[in-house]
Amino acid sequence: MEMPVRKRGRPRALDRDVGLDIAARLFWERGYEGTSTADLTKAMGINPPTLYSMFGSKAELYRQALDFSIARENSRRLEILASNLPVHEALSLYLYDIADGDTQPDKPRGCMVSTAVLQHAEENASVARMTAALRETSMQTLKARFDRAVEEGELPAKTDTDTLARFYGAIIQGMSAQACDGACNARLKRLIDLALTAWPGKRHDGAANL
């Protein structure tokens, strides 16, 4: 007696968060322009129509993958900045946490946002503007914390908080680039320690930077 032929079932649908996690890692490793649609569909185990129906386009998938990655990585850092810790201590912990993120042994080096799409083809200008806006948001978050420090007397009243935020933003971007070039965690933290000596206000040990 012949056994009945079992019909092949529909392939299991891709979980959206799993897809975003896979895409984020590929974009992080290879950059936006270095990651093709074929790379993405192969890694996710789906075909192009499924990718487009789930995420819209490669550019839209990149935006969603960035948002997904930022939400996962930044919640702890934002809590540090929003805490009632002295601002110098909060900044130190914030920068150290970024150095840890830049040098995770099981993930790509550097930061997915800090050095993303700095050079690009003209057709990808909108993606470059999007990542630049994310970097600007990070600097404005630092500026807001420094503004609060001025109000609370931890920074001098005439502190240029925008330039101070951009200074530490440049440190963050530089750490990402150096991590990609192979700098270890300890080296990045030594860089942070030096950058913190430029702090123009009270230190978290209670001493003023005079």
Query: Is residue 159, in this structure, part of any structural domain at all?
Result: yes
Query: Is residue 203, in this structure, part of any structural domain at all?
Result: no
* Domain range for 42: 16-196
The total number of structural domains in the chain stands at 1
Q: Cα separation of 96 and 135, whole Å?
A: 18
- CATH number assigned to the domain comprising residue 75: 1.10.357.10
Q: What is the pLDDT of residues 151-165, one digit of tens each?
A: 999 999 999 999 999
Query: Is residue 179, in this structure, part of any structural domain at all?
Result: yes
Query: Is residue 101, in this structure, part of any structural domain at all?
Result: yes
Radius of gyration of the chain (CA): 21
The CA-based angle 9-52-45, given to 5 degrees, is 45
User: What pLDDT is attached to residue 13?
Assistant: 65
Amino acid at 130: M
Q: What is the pLDDT of residues 168-198, one digit of tens each?
A: 999 999 999 999 899 999 999 999 999 999 9
**Cβ-contact 148, 87 below 8 angstroms:** yes
Across the chain, which has 210 residues, the per-10-residue mean pLDDT values are 47 79 89 90 93 92 89 87 96 96 88 74 79 89 97 97 97 93 96 97 58
Query: Is residue 111, in this structure, part of any structural domain at all?
Result: yes
Query: Is residue 64, in this structure, part of any structural domain at all?
Result: yes
User: What pLDDT is attached to residue 7?
Assistant: 46
The three-state secondary structure class of 24 is helix
**Cβ-contact 199, 209 below 8 angstroms:** yes
User: Is the pTM above the cut of 0.85?
Assistant: no
Query: Is residue 38, in this structure, part of any structural domain at all?
Result: yes
Query: Is residue 76, in this structure, part of any structural domain at all?
Result: yes
**Cβ-contact 55, 19 below 8 angstroms:** yes
Q: Which residue has the tokens 């934002």?
A: 78
User: What pLDDT is attached to residue 209?
Assistant: 42
For 98, other C-beta atoms within 10 Å of its C-beta total 24
Exposure of 68 in the CB half-sphere (CA atoms within 13 A): 19
Task: List, in sequence order, every residue forming a beta bridge with 208; answer none if it has no partner.
Answer: 202
